[in-house]
Amino acid sequence: MKVTLTVNGTEYARDVEPRLLLIHLLRDELGLTGSHWGCDTSNCGACVVWLDDTPVKSCTVLAVMADGHRVLTVEGLANGASLDPVQQGFAHCHGLQCGFCTPGMMLTARWLLNNNPHPSSYQVREAISGQVCRCTGYENIVKAVLWAAEYEAGG
């Protein structure tokens, strides 16, 4: 069936099977491979993208459910050549190692900071608690998000 959605500001129309998962639409149909997947059970969060204004696990959303909606992926985080402060924070604070969970983590971080510009480290940990990182032990992800918060506050 026909779906039309706006991904990172660009409108796409595709004819898809109803069972197609949003993550596969993004990766296989649109070539946006920055979003990953790491489990089958919506536990790991490697697939997190924004659907309209909130992060969701795109392995657990059908592409047809996104029809008429906006999607933001990691490829849409930067403003041209200018990295989002969250992206800068992850690089600056060694908030990533293998880079596999990173896109989902950054999208959740961006959402957190939009809603809570000055989170505590506990609030950062809580926000990313549905997403697994196997490399960082989370410490530097937390630092990266706090760095971005401080950066955006002009610090």
Binders of other proteins in range 90-149 (CB under 8 A):
90-92, 94, 96-103, 106, 108, 121, 124-142
Q: Closest distance between other proteins and the C-beta of residue 155, in Å?
A: 19
Rounded CA separation 30/110 (Å): 23
Window 64 to 93, contacts with other proteins (CB under 8 A): 64-65, 73-75, 77-78, 83, 87-88, 90-92
Q: Closest distance between other proteins and the C-beta of residue 118, in Å?
A: 18
Q: Does 26 bind other proteins (CB under 8 A)?
A: no
- DSSP-assigned letters across all residues of 72-84: E-GGGTSBTTB--
Beta strands 48-51 and 70-72, pairing class? antiparallel
Q: Does 4 bind other proteins (CB under 8 A)?
A: no
Beta strands 2-7 and 10-15, pairing class? antiparallel
Nearest to 24 by CA among 43, 40, 10, 8: 40
Q: Does 150 bind other proteins (CB under 8 A)?
A: no
Q: Does 55 bind other proteins (CB under 8 A)?
A: yes
